[in-house]
Amino acid sequence: MSEETAPGASRREGPAGAGPGGERDGRLLLISTAPPSRSDRWLAMGVVGGLVAALVAVEPFAQVRLDGTQSLIPAYLVAVLLNQLITAVLLMSHYAVQRSRRVLVLSAGYLFAGLMIIPWALTFPGAFPAFGLDARLQATATIAAVNRLGFPLFVLVYALLPERSTGQAPRGSSAWPLTAMAAVVAGTVAALTVLVALTDTPLPPFMRDAHSVATLWRVVPPAAIVICAAGLVVLRARLRSVLDLWLLVVLASIICEVLLLGYLSDGVRLSLGWWAGRVCGLVAASIVLVVLLSGTTTLYARLARSVLAERRARESRLTTMEALSASIAHEIRQPLSSVVLSAAAGLRWLRRDTPDLAEVEASLQRIQAVGERAGQLLESIRMNFKTGAAQHVEVDVNRVIEEVIARCREETELDRIALRIELGQTLPAVAIDPLQLQLVLSNLISNALDSMREAGGRMRVLRITTRWAPDEVLVSVADNGTGLPAEHRERIFNAYFTTKAEGSGIGLMFCRSIIEANGGRIWAADNIPHGAVLHFALPTAPPRGPLRPQE
């Protein structure tokens, strides 16, 4: 496969798999390699349609002389010269990256066309009389004929050349081929200029006088049209890149230029048709330059976006690590406190005059259970931050709630908080990692207990309910504590937002990430007349892959 046929590549947007420099499958998406998009094709057709419309509009007035316009020729020549030379330089830079023989030939064509403007301008009758190079009548026409036939020939060679690609990065320096090509082109143009303008070598009789062409000139336009038509056919048959597409437009512009200069204006210089042809020539000289500049701008924009994306990804990784460390500290605090309390209790039983070994054993068993629980919490947190690593099994929500309540019952009794557990019967299983579900419930219950500790002297009640809604299981954790201000209700699940003096702002964010990663939703509401309710819902249908029963 040649370098022009990178499938699925796009010049407008970086495709999936494209690298930061606009690469796909190791190949740069330059205009000489990227396939044309639909918008490219429509734009090219629009430009050709505009040229044809201008050709039709000018036809009735093509031979009207526009006297006094000769002073515009230097500006026109400078514009064409700069466009051709800049295009040649940009194509050389493409060759330095791609090392395509076709691109090297095309850059030689633009360099040749640009350099040929110089002797054509210096020999044009009356354009630069100070140089004294306008003495020979046939000099300008001879140079124009060579240029008219030469550039389309370069494009035709570009279209006919096969592209040899090894699929590897170019090796060696590109300076030698580019220097040799520029030297050959410049030497050819210089030799032709000396031959035509500075010697007495007989020249073909293309002009009758300074304003009218001779019969021999009538051969040049059809020859140029035939070469352009051949280039159009070959390029259309091998249309593989954006550059190929716009070279079609260039050849179409040259055909319009030839028709206006050679036929509609009847060879009369400085007529409306003649100037219209020159405008078409300027368009032909500018099209590839505009496309090259546009492609370069696109690549730079893509590179800038990729740098910004990489910076955001790096910041995101730092934020994730901070969230991970905060989550570990947040979730491991309670197990560590339980370990300390159980160890202290065991030591007290051992220090009695008659040690109670049964109580010591019970304390050690609690320490073992809490340690295992802490390990499970750490693993659950790690899995949550590792994409696709969590296991999804069929989980009985009621069973998980009972396990979590059993672990926090001692805490609720010490704080004199009444538990109201209302679990729906025959609930379907949900698909989630049971450790993650325990983590969510522990967070919600812990927040509810903290809220009720700050409440007044009313009776404190923690209510946990479950019920089955269509296609999902709903869980609610309600307290009659201090409640949530309306302005905080939508923000409590944001990272680092907290209403507690010593809160980290991680717990509820962590809960939301778990629930949403499992296809669920979580939200907060008021508990009338006091407190708040946190609801979450999990889908009953398996979200992905086959599930296995909860162990």
- Please write the tens of the pLDDT for every residue from 94-149: 888 888 889 999 999 999 999 988 888 777 765 555 454 545 677 778 888 888 89
Q: Residue 217 has what DSSP assignment?
A: G
pLDDT band (50, 70, 90) for residue 188: very high
Residue with tokens 């204006």: 265
Helix (H) or strand (E) holding 156: helix 137-160
Helix spans in 385-421 (H) = 397-414
pLDDT tens-digit readout, 437-489: 888 888 888 888 888 877 666 788 899 999 988 889 999 999 988 888 776 66
Pick from 123, 156, 157: nearest CA to 140: 123
Pick from 91, 80, 66: nearest CA to 147: 80
pLDDT of residue 514: 83
First to last CA, the chain: 53
More confident residue, 175 or 252: 252
CB neighbour burial string for 166-177, b if at least 16 within 10 angstroms, e if fewer: eeeeeeeebeeb
For residue 333, how many C-alpha atoms fall within 13 Å in the half-sphere facing its CB?
A: 13
CA 46 to chain CA centroid, nearest Å: 27
pLDDT of residue 502: 53
pLDDT of residue 478: 92
Pick from 145, 135, 140, 142: nearest CA to 204: 142
Bridge partner residues of 422 (DSSP): 465
Arithmetic mean of pLDDT, 213-223: 83
Residue type, 425: Q
C-alpha 502/C-alpha 185 separation (Å) is 77
Pick from 480, 473, 50: nearest CA to 253: 50
Question: Has residue 21 got a pLDDT over 80?
Answer: no
pLDDT of residue 318: 61
Q: Cα dihedral sign for 87, 92, 95, 97?
A: negative
Question: Has residue 503 got a pLDDT over 70?
Answer: no
pLDDT band (50, 70, 90) for residue 496: low
Question: Has residue 379 got a pLDDT over 70?
Answer: no
C-alpha dist (Å) from residue 62 to 74, 124, 251:
22, 21, 21
pLDDT of residue 311: 80
Burial class (CB in 10 A: 0-12, 13-18, 19+), 282: middle
More confident residue, 401 or 215: 401
pLDDT band (50, 70, 90) for residue 381: low
Residue 21 tokens read as 């420099």
Could you give phi then psi for residue 286, rounded to 5 degrees? -105, -20
pLDDT of residue 516: 86
Mode of pairing for the β-strands spanning 472-479 and 461-469: antiparallel
Average confidence score pLDDT of the chain: 78
> Torsion angle, CA of 351/355/357/362, rounded to 10 degrees?
-50
pLDDT tens-digit readout, 290-332: 888 887 787 778 778 888 878 876 765 665 566 556 556 655 6
pLDDT band (50, 70, 90) for residue 233: very high
Could you give the angle at the alpha carbon of 47 between the alpha carbons of 43 and 53, nearest 5°?
140
Residue 378 tokens read as 């750490």
C-alpha 360/C-alpha 347 separation (Å) is 8
pLDDT tens-digit readout, 155-185: 999 999 887 654 444 566 778 889 999 999 9
